[in-house]
């Protein structure tokens, strides 16, 4: 089966912008092709059509992560597919090279884990999610030099070293089989149309989806779920972030 980025559009494999006025489509061509290839890879590895772009955009249907359908799928392939199928072109990799580099994350994180993350790795490996969540907070405060303050402000979030952020995220993604992690939360938040600017409806919808809200109220830390029954994206809790800082973390391009 050959699927091109021009001609008739199949909603299962074409991005939403192909169903709009096409006069400006040429400038978006790389991201159109990336969406098409990612959707095709989704079908190839799962045997199921991905949720089409119109249903996702108009009816707010969620794209089921391919790893949820095929648990043996690597985290790298899962995340590359999801990144390539972001609804908004600006949220996708901007070139084929950038998309292909996502697949290079296939390397085993255990082989290249930097010093200081051994305890987090060990806690995640035995699925001690609550202790791992607290260790994540401790490590982030240490890296940012904010142990005394006990929380991360917006400036420290934006300046947080990308290598450390990716290490934390990849450990969570690896040991949760793609269920938890900052990059997982980022994908979900962006699927709701989230940006750095506060939008109450979007933020509450995100909170409902990841289980940070229950019965229209934000839950306390002790009421979070620290096992695999937790919703996708439930952890890490990001409790050490400044109010509103979570949005800045989730929009980091290096996740």
Residue-by-residue DSSP string for 80-109: HHHHHT-SSGGGS-SSHHHHHHHHGGGS-G
Range of the domain at 54: 16-106
Eight-state DSSP code of residue 46: H
Of 2-11, 197-206, 210-219, 235-244, the range with the lowest mean pLDDT is 2-11
User: Both 150 and 214 in a single domain?
Assistant: yes
Residue 6's nearest CA partner among 23, 17, 18, 16 is 18
Eight-state DSSP code of residue 241: B
User: Both 91 and 153 in a single domain?
Assistant: no
Specify the higher pLDDT residue, 251 or 172.
Answer: 172
Using 50, 70 and 90 to split pLDDT, how confident is the model at 25? low
Query: How confident is the model at residue 101, as a pLDDT?
Result: 83
Using 50, 70 and 90 to split pLDDT, how confident is the model at 245? confident
Cβ–Cβ < 8 Å for 196, 248: yes
- Say which residues have a Cβ less than 8 Å from residue 94's Cβ, sequence separation at least 6: 30, 31
pLDDT at 27 over 80: no
Mean pLDDT of the chain: 87
> Any idea what the Cα angle at residue 202 is, between residues 183 and 174, rounded to 5°?
15
Cβ–Cβ < 8 Å for 15, 29: no
Cβ–Cβ < 8 Å for 20, 33: no
Cβ–Cβ < 8 Å for 140, 230: no
pTM value is: 0.67
User: Both 73 and 194 in a single domain?
Assistant: no
For 51-84, the pLDDT digits (tens) are: 999 999 888 888 998 988 888 788 889 889 999 9
Compute the distance between CA of residue 35 and CA of residue 108 in angstroms, rounded to an integer: 26
User: Both 193 and 72 in a single domain?
Assistant: no
Of 5-19, 54-68, 73-87, 221-235, the range with the lowest mean pLDDT is 5-19
* Residue 250, helix vs strand vs coil: helix
Query: How confident is the model at residue 23, as a pLDDT?
Result: 54
pLDDT at 106 over 60: no
Q: Residue range 222-228: average pLDDT?
A: 93
Q: Give the number of C-alpha atoms closer than 13 A to the C-alpha of residue 209, restricted to the C-beta side.
A: 23
pLDDT at 5 over 70: no
Residue whose tokens read 């996740």: 255
Single out the residue in 85, 106, 127 at which a domain terminates.
Answer: 106
Paired strand residues for 218:
213
pLDDT at 253 over 90: no
Query: How confident is the model at residue 7, as a pLDDT?
Result: 41
For 116-128, the pLDDT digits (tens) are: 999 999 999 889 9
User: Both 137 and 217 in a single domain?
Assistant: yes
Greatest pairwise CA separation for the chain in angstroms: 59
User: Both 219 and 153 in a single domain?
Assistant: yes
Single out the residue in 106, 133, 165 at which a domain terminates.
Answer: 106
Specify the higher pLDDT residue, 104 or 237.
Answer: 237
């Amino acid at each position: 089966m050959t699927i091109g980025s021009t001609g008739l559009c199949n909603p299962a494999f074409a991005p939403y912008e192909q169903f709009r006025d096409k006069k400006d489509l040429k400038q978006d061509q790389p991201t159109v092709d990336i969406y098409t290839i990612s959707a095709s890879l989704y079908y190839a590895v799962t045997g199921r059509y991905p949720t089409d772009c119109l249903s996702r955009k108009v009816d707010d249907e969620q794209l089921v992560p391919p790893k949820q359908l095929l648990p043996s799928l690597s985290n790298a392939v899962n995340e590359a597919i999801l990144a390539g199928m972001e609804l908004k072109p600006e949220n996708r990799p901007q070139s084929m090279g950038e998309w292909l580099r996502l697949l290079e994350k296939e390397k085993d994180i255990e082989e290249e884990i930097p010093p200081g993350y051994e305890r987090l790795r060990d806690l995640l490996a035995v699925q001690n999610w609550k202790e791992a969540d607290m260790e994540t907070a401790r490590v982030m405060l240490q890296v940012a030099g904010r142990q005394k303050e006990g929380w991360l402000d917006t400036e420290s979030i934006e300046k947080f070293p990308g290598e450390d952020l990716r290490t934390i995220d990849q450990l969570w993604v690896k040991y949760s089989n793609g269920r938890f992690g900052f990059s997982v939360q980022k994908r979900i938040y962006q699927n709701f149309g989230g940006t750095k600017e506060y939008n109450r409806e979007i933020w509450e919808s995100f909170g409902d989806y990841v289980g940070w809200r229950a019965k229209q109220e934000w839950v306390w830390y002790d009421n979070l779920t620290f096992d695999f029954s937790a919703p996708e994206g439930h952890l890490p809790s990001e409790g050490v972030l400044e109010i509103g800082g979570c949005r800045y973390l989730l929009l980091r391009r290096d996740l």
